[in-house]
Structure 1
Amino acid sequence: MNRRHDIDALRALAFGLLILYHAAMLYVAPVSDWGFHLKSTHLAEWLQYPMLFLNRWRMELLFLISGLAVHFLRGKTGLPGLAWKRTVRLLLPLVFGMLVVIPIQPYVQGLAEHGIESGFLAFLPHYWTHGYRDYGLTWNHLWYLPYLWLYTMGLLALLPVFESAPGKRFCASMRQLRGTPLLLLPALPLFVIGFVLRHRFPETHALVGDWYAHALYATCFLYGYLLGTDTGLWSELARLRRFSLTLALSCFALYLFLDKFGPDLLGGKPPTLAQALIAKATIDGLRYLYCWTAIAAVLGWGHALLNRPFRWLPYAREAVYPWYVLHQSLLLLVAWWIMQMHLGPVMEPLLVVFGTIGGCALLHECVIRRTRWLRPLFGLDASPNHRGTSQALLRPADDIA
């Protein structure tokens, strides 16, 4: 199997972007639309535009990359072994994170909202037993793990269908998409999901009843599995990268314009039912076409520019999972300390970001990766890989992705 450095690199960069996104949540306004566990006094409305730019495709991309990982692993492991491996790799860090890492987040939120007064160690038993109604046991940013486990188990149950003769023909037909159809057809299911479900079932990350999120993310996860390692399809994504990027930027600009100024185009008159449906379909169409073309552009540019053995990649590949588990708790803890220093709208966010990155780096390098019993609790193998970096990069990461 050819080495896929680009997928490992995209995965590491996407999760690195997650730190910046969550840091920006401290500062983006209005609070009614961008609520978070903690908010700075230095709020900026302009931040919502770059965050919307990322928000419309970042999680969809991560679930697609996760579907790719199942494709890679399937060639090495039987279904029972693969199910067990993914269960341990996903749910063990989830349970550990919920019990040990996540409590920092409701604790800091409770302090900021004056909902609790006790110290952290005194707070923990209340968190574990829901002693405080609003600050009890939760998975917060780790919601990605149970959702990913659910989609993985569902896909594994369907693999005999996909690997049957009709299933193979279906997968092969999907991998034959080229040119404009490759940039348009995958967006159609996303549009239907959004048009039918998004307003009826707003995204909650509560797992149960989160039908819009499940339909959207499971579809992107399936796209990743179908994409797989087909050389022709990846070459086509790379060939289309400039066109897909141009189309994505155009869709995003028009989407923002219509979302913001659409009602003014009617001259202030209440829209008819037909006009409202057309407007909704147009805005949703642009939203999900932007989502898919942005993902296609990221995959295409990544394949063209990142499919090489960067020296930093083996280390980053291992660091992604521990950093993901740690980052939001460290972010809120660092922000709580620094916000009380009143350092201003420039120095404060810089220190929050660098403090979070520094904390993740120190804990990963000095504690997690060097402690055998801790490694599985953060999604790593119990023993480091001693086969060399070249062997470590023969396939995309098989842990969080």
Structure 2
Amino acid sequence: MQRRHDIDALRVIAFSLLILYHSAMVYVADWDFHIKSAHTFEWLQYPMIALNRWRMLLLFMISGMALGLAGIEHRRWRFAGARSLRLLLPLVFGMLVVVTPQTYFQVVVQDGFTGSVAHFYRLYLTHGLCHADQCLLTPTWNHLWYLAYLLPYTLLLLAVMPLLRRLREWLGDAQPTGKTALAFLLLPILWLLGVRFWLAPQFEETHALVDDWVVHAESLPLFLLGYVLATRAGFWQWVQRLRWRTLAVAVLAISVELGLRWLGHHPPAGPTPGWALHVPWYTIERIARVSYTWVALLAIFGWGHTLLNRPFRWLSYCSEAVFPWYILHQTLIIALAFWLIPLHLGAATEAALVVGGTMAGCLLLHEVVIRRSDWLRPLFGLKPMRKPLPLPDARPVAG
């Protein structure tokens, strides 16, 4: 397996951003979440949108790249069995154990549930959580939907791997130039634009796998593209060379999208100028949105390849910690918010405790419990231990 430190580091960073993103969901105004603070802020929507446009697509592309770098072409079906087990165990365990408190706190806060935890869990396992003619489909995977999608995406990639290898060979290792470079820039944007104009008005994003056509249309092609591009040296040289330009275009595009969104919520006083009535603002906003999504990904890969492709001392440990932290973080966020919100601590103190407590909880559970337990490791997506992990040095300090 080829080791690409920048891909590993971007994976760690992308998953780390989930803690901030899901913590901010407690405080962002007008966005639904399992639990909401009394302190909510409209301005939070803007950085959240800027992050949301590429955060999951980056993870899916990185997952495809990891398969492209793994050298599994000649053992793909053996790999399919191992990968299926490694994804299914955490998903099922997460749905039955880790995610359950999220739903419990949600129904307590939103529906006034007063039953015991044992009563709740029986209802949770039997799809019996109904209130005011609305029912929650349980057991649920909540934030673990990424695992549920990654498994069929991986199996599909393994099935079409011979075709993808031919495409990879056809692209070659040279830097994209001329029409090829233009295709790299425009085709993903045109595809995403088609999704926004055709699919998005007809289908909601559900994260329910079977009917989530918008998410599949955006995520699956980029997952497969990640596999194709992973070992193409010319692509990485190209995104590295263009990193300043892609960054500038990304900033411009998101500025247009967010600016139009802000004007939609805060229209200027007085009559609208006649010329403004004839400008296709919705079309401009959609074009800016999808352009930002793709060009931001190119900028991230370019800057990541420039700054992160080195063996950082923290990278090995953090790469292993990613899976347990991902599985744990949202449950800790919701539990901490549930306990802290009634204390009326103030927005800054409350949010700092939610974020800091989540990070501390993830670190403690991963380091002290999960990674040192042979039977817990597979339930959190970790490989079995090859040798006993070292214990902290307890010798007294001389002096």
- Does TM, scored on the shorter chain, surpass 0.5? yes
Matched residue, 2:124: 127
Matched residue, 1:376: 378
Indicate the SS of the match to 1:219. helix
User: 1:52-63 alignment to 2 at 5 Å?
Assistant: 52-63=49-60
Selected match of 1:294 from 285, 293, 296: 296
Contact 2:89–2:381 under 8 Å retained in 1: yes
Selected match of 1:81 from 75, 78, 82: 78
Contact 2:174–2:233 under 8 Å retained in 1: no
Matched residue, 1:252: 254
Matched residue, 2:142: 140
Q: Deviations over 1:312-358 (max 9, x none)?
A: 11110000000101110111001111112110011000001011111
Matched residue, 1:397: none
How far 1:121 moved relative to its partner?
Answer: 3.3
Identify if the C-alpha distance between structure 1 residues 161 and 231 changes in structure 2 by more than 3 Å, giving closer, same or farther: closer
**Alignment length, in residue pairs?**
380
How far 1:66 moved relative to its partner?
Answer: 0.8
CA distance in 1, matches of 2:197, 2:174: 23
Q: Deviations over 1:93-152 (max 9, x none)?
A: 101100010101010111112432123233212111122234531110011111111211
CA distance in 1, matches of 2:227, 2:36: 38
Contact 2:173–2:235 under 8 Å retained in 1: no
Identify if the C-alpha distance between structure 1 residues 258 and 385 changes in structure 2 by more than 3 Å, giving closer, same or farther: farther
CA distance in 2, matches of 1:45, 1:258: 15
How far 1:199 moved relative to its partner?
Answer: 1.4
Matched residue, 2:6: 6
How far 1:175 moved relative to its partner?
Answer: 7.0
Q: Deviations over 1:73-93 (max 9, x none)?
A: 244651211211221111111
Q: Deviations over 1:34-60 (max 9, x none)?
A: 100000001111100110110111111
Q: Deviations over 1:200-234 (max 9, x none)?
A: 11211011111111110101112211211222211
TM-score, length basis structure 1: 0.88
How far 1:15 moved relative to its partner?
Answer: 0.4
Matched residue, 1:390: none
Identify if the C-alpha distance between structure 1 residues 386 and 281 changes in structure 2 by more than 3 Å, giving closer, same or farther: farther
How far 1:180 moved relative to its partner?
Answer: 5.5
The alignment status of 1:209 with 2:206, answered yes or no, reads: no
How far 1:280 moved relative to its partner?
Answer: 3.5
Contact 1:73–1:82 under 8 Å retained in 2: no
Identify if the C-alpha distance between structure 1 residues 99 and 262 changes in structure 2 by more than 3 Å, giving closer, same or farther: closer
Write the letter of the residue equivalent to 2:99.
I
Contact 2:65–2:229 under 8 Å retained in 1: yes
Which shifted more, 129-138 or 15-24?
A: 129-138
The alignment status of 1:306 with 2:305, answered yes or no, reads: no
The ranges of structure 1 where at least 4 consecutive aligned residues each deviate by more than 6 angstroms after the TM superposition are 262-266
User: 1:210-249 alignment to 2 at 5 Å?
Assistant: 210-249=212-251
CA distance in 2, matches of 1:351, 1:323: 17
Indicate the SS of the match to 2:344. coil
Write the letter of the residue equivalent to 1:24.
A
Write the letter of the residue equivalent to 2:321.
A
Indicate the SS of the match to 2:325. helix
Identify if the C-alpha distance between structure 1 residues 75 and 330 changes in structure 2 by more than 3 Å, giving closer, same or farther: same
Indicate the SS of the match to 2:129. coil
Write the letter of the residue equivalent to 1:68.
M
Contact 1:74–1:82 under 8 Å retained in 2: no
Matched residue, 1:363: 365
The alignment status of 1:92 with 2:89, answered yes or no, reads: yes
If asked which structure has higher relative contact order (CA below 8 Å, sep 6+), I would say: 1
Which shifted more, 353-362 or 84-93?
A: 84-93
Indicate the SS of the match to 1:283. helix
Identify if the C-alpha distance between structure 1 residues 191 and 253 changes in structure 2 by more than 3 Å, giving closer, same or farther: same
Contact 1:175–1:226 under 8 Å retained in 2: no
CA distance in 2, matches of 1:198, 1:386: 50
Query: Percent of aligned pairs with the same residue?
Result: 48
Write the letter of the residue equivalent to 1:303.
H
Indicate the SS of the match to 1:204. coil
**Alpha carbon RMSD of aligned pairs, Å?**
2.6
Matched residue, 2:396: none
Contact 2:2–2:71 under 8 Å retained in 1: no
The alignment status of 1:16 with 2:16, answered yes or no, reads: yes
Contact 2:168–2:229 under 8 Å retained in 1: no
Please, which runs of 5 or more residues in structure 2 have no aligned partner?
390-399
How far 1:185 moved relative to its partner?
Answer: 3.3
Indicate the SS of the match to 2:90. helix
CA distance in 1, matches of 2:155, 2:73: 17
Matched residue, 1:102: 99
CA distance in 1, matches of 2:287, 2:387: 45
CA distance in 2, matches of 1:112, 1:251: 39
Matched residue, 1:315: 317
Contact 1:12–1:317 under 8 Å retained in 2: yes
CA distance in 2, matches of 1:119, 1:351: 27
Contact 2:175–2:237 under 8 Å retained in 1: no
The alignment status of 1:176 with 2:176, answered yes or no, reads: yes
Indicate the SS of the match to 1:366. helix
Matched residue, 1:398: none
Identify if the C-alpha distance between structure 1 residues 340 and 101 changes in structure 2 by more than 3 Å, giving closer, same or farther: same
Write the letter of the residue equivalent to 2:37.
S
